[in-house]
Amino acid sequence: MSQVTKIAESQFETEVINSDRLVVIDFGATWCGPCKKLHPIMDELAAELGDSVKIGYVDVGENPAIAQSYAVISVPQVLFFHGGKVVDRIVGLVPKPKIKEKIAIHSKG
């Protein structure tokens, strides 16, 4: 079972904006090949990092308003939220160490 929380529009404010910790959101789509390769990486990170960071997934096909409000026009795209604001983003499929490095940087703040 996935450790990544699937987040819908109705949950976004509570789960992401109002979170008291770093939130990493994987924006993807079921039709996206690279997105399918990123999912296991995000699952591994969620399992490794536990409650220190919240890792979520937003399906852009099911939640187009969220994607549009954060200018997510290509997927996969990973956004890093701290204090309710986007503090960083990664566009495209990247290796796990790159995502982990960004999490470490933004977890300190």
Active-site residue (options: 4, 16, 25, 32): 32
How far apart (Å, rounded) are the C-alpha atoms in residues 13 and 89?
19
Architecture of domain 5-107: 3-Layer(aba) Sandwich (3.40)
5 Rama sector, left if φ>0, alpha if ψ -120 to 50, beta otherwise:
beta
| In the chain, where the domains are located | 5-107
pLDDT in tens, the chain (109 residues): 578 999 999 999 999 999 999 999 999 999 999 999 999 999 999 999 998 999 999 999 999 999 999 999 999 999 999 999 999 999 999 999 999 999 999 987 5
Question: Is 32 labeled as catalytic in the residue annotation?
Answer: yes
**Which residues, 6+ apart, have CB-to-CB distance to 105 below 8 Å?**
88
Q: What is the pTM of this model?
A: 0.95
Question: Is 19 labeled as catalytic in the residue annotation?
Answer: no
Active-site residue (options: 22, 35, 38, 72): 35
Reduced 3-state DSSP string for 22-76: CEEEEEECCCCHHHHHHHHHHHHHHHHHHHHCEEEEEECCCCHHHHHHCCCCCCC
